[in-house]
A and B are shown apart, each in its own frame.
Chain A
Amino acid sequence: GENVEQHPSTLSVQEGDSAVIKCTYSDSASNYFPWYKQELGKGPQLIIDIRSNVGEKKDQRIAVTLNKTAKHFSLHITETQPEDSAVYFCAARLGYQKVTFGTGTKLQVIP
């Protein structure tokens, strides 16, 4: 099955700086890579996603890049704000249904 690794496990940045979270996946057949933000005691919320036929996608301050050859994908958050503080999960979908999550990154944005 698919295996997703995520780094770092914790990340502290100053407000206004950029944050980068990296993930690797094991199965080259994975075709969809979503990123989720989870606040304490709540379910994950999709913040951005990318399909395997696209190398980069951007939505305002958030961007995701995908390197299929290296089986890497990354989340980039620019101009971080305190409300960006949360746990972020990357995920990879193998086939059409099952999604495997990374181990999570706790992002702290220091005002």
Chain B
Amino acid sequence: GAVVSQHPSWVICKSGTSVKIECRSLDFQATTMFWYRQFPKQSLMLMATSNEGSKATYEQGVEKDKFLINHASLTLSTLTVTSAHPEDSSFYICSARVGSLDGYTFGSGTRLTVV
């Protein structure tokens, strides 16, 4: 089946540094990828929709300068958390729609801790 590989699975960084999270579609081409943020015991909140070769579409309230999204190829989308602060600590998850199918495949998530 379709697999989305997300790395790293966890990362700890110092406040003020930047962190990049990668999502790769392994056996299919993902024209569109979605980036979610999930706080403990809460639901997934859509941050942005990433489209290959164009600018990402951010949800209301999400700082585009802080959460930089790049979707340079049909198999790779990256989320960079710039100048990270402790309040950015969260579980970040990407997903992609597989071709014309309805289903969305999710990555395994990245636990970001900013200290």
Residues of A at under 8 Å CB distance from B?
32, 34, 36, 41-46, 49, 51, 89, 93, 97-104
Q: B108: which A residues are within 8 A, CB to CB?
A: 42-43
**Candidates B42, B45, B91, B104; contact of A34 at CB < 8 Å:** B104
Q: From DSSP, what is the main secondary structure of chain B's interface residues?
A: strand
Size of the chain B interface, CB-CB below 8 angstroms? 23
Contact B103 A34 (CB under 8 A): yes
Contact A49:B103 (CB < 8 A) given known A42-B108, A43-B109, A44-B44? yes
**Candidates A42, A51, A99, A103; contact of B104 at CB < 8 Å:** A99
Per-residue CB proximity of B32-71 to A under 8 Å, as 1/0?
1010000001111110010000000000000000000000
Q: B109: which A residues are within 8 A, CB to CB?
A: 41-43
In the bound assembly, the distance between CA atoms of A45 and B109 in angstroms comes to 12
